[in-house]
Amino acid sequence: MATLHPLNIPDELYEQLQELAKAENSSVDAQVITILQNALEIKTQETEDERRKNVLKLLEESRLRREKLPKDIEWPDSTAMLREDRDR
């Protein structure tokens, strides 16, 4: 396990950490680790939400491109093209 060297934490903040640790029957170190883990989980979750939004945006752009394709052209059957390619 890595060691994080002491930081210059303001006395007021350290007292709050001590009170929180005492209320939850844990050490100050354990409280700091828990707070950091929770903060990172929230940040990671925001990133996942952003990725989902990007996927939805890409799907919408793809749908709009498909709608712009000419309707009077007969497109070749993809399965027939795959079969032809595999038969080579």
Each residue's pLDDT tens digit, 1-45: 777 777 788 899 999 999 999 999 999 889 989 998 988 887 777
Q: Where are the domains of the chain?
A: 34-69
Each residue's pLDDT tens digit, 50-67: 777 788 888 899 999 888
| DSSP assignments along 2-57, one per residue | --PPP----HHHHHHHHHHHHHTT--HHHHHHHHHHHHHHHHHHHHHHHHHHHHHH
Q: Is pLDDT of 47 > 80? A: no
Give kind and range of the element (H or E) at residue 3: none
